Amino acid sequence: MPAVQPEPRANPESFDSMIARLAGLIGSENFPNADRAVLKRMDPDQEPPLAFYRFAMRHLPEVWHHQKRQWQSILQGMALMSPKIHDPSLAFGRALAENRYNESRLERLLASQNESQRTLLVRAVRFLATKKLACDWRDMARLQLTQDREKRESLHMKIATDYYRHQP
């Protein structure tokens, strides 16, 4: 039996619209609850479950496998925040500040890399999920996916600026 290949997209999707689409899919009442539960329980130190691969093959960019662990933490975070996931009007840093997220935790998150960063991002997402808040997932996804050093520094500055501008 031949392998199932995802249909190529006629028009490349922008990063912003892709993040909104992914959040909409995972937060949808039509998304299988069993798959959402499996995504929530993923361990970033272990191989992802089949539910992750099924979703990735159908919905992620064709080159997702080059950053499998990063996508794993993004999808886990979105599942944790479900059903309210993505709100482009509420920046990640602002959401953390307005809900009194500890400054030293944010500092550790922004200073971390790789496995540590994935773990700390999931912890920040769990914090926001307990508040039942949706926030802008673009910064969180970029935090995981951006490899260019200057772009990462710029992203860190944006998140920190959003945090400090909105501290109570």
- Which CATH number characterizes residue 130's domain? 1.10.520.40
- Per-residue pLDDT at 12: 67
Segment 5-53, tens digit of pLDDT: 344 444 568 999 999 999 999 999 999 999 999 999 998 778 999 999 9
- Total tally of structural domains belonging to the chain: 1
Instruction: Give a yes or no: residue 2 inside a domain.
Output: no
Instruction: Give a yes or no: residue 45 inside a domain.
Output: yes
Instruction: Give a yes or no: residue 44 inside a domain.
Output: yes
Location of structure tokens 């997220």: 101
Least confident range from 10-14, 56-60, 75-79, 114-118: namely 10-14
Segment 107-166, tens digit of pLDDT: 999 999 888 999 999 999 999 999 998 999 999 999 999 999 999 999 999 999 999 999
**What domain range is 35 assigned to?**
15-165
Closest CA to 139 of 119, 123, 160: 160
Distance CA 155, CA 143 (A): 7
Distance CA 43, CA 49 (A): 9
Instruction: Give a yes or no: residue 139 inside a domain.
Output: yes
Instruction: Give a yes or no: residue 92 inside a domain.
Output: yes
Instruction: Give a yes or no: residue 120 inside a domain.
Output: yes
Q: What tokens were used for 101?
A: 């997220």
Instruction: Give a yes or no: residue 115 inside a domain.
Output: yes
Q: Are 120 and 109 in contact (CB under 8 A)?
A: yes
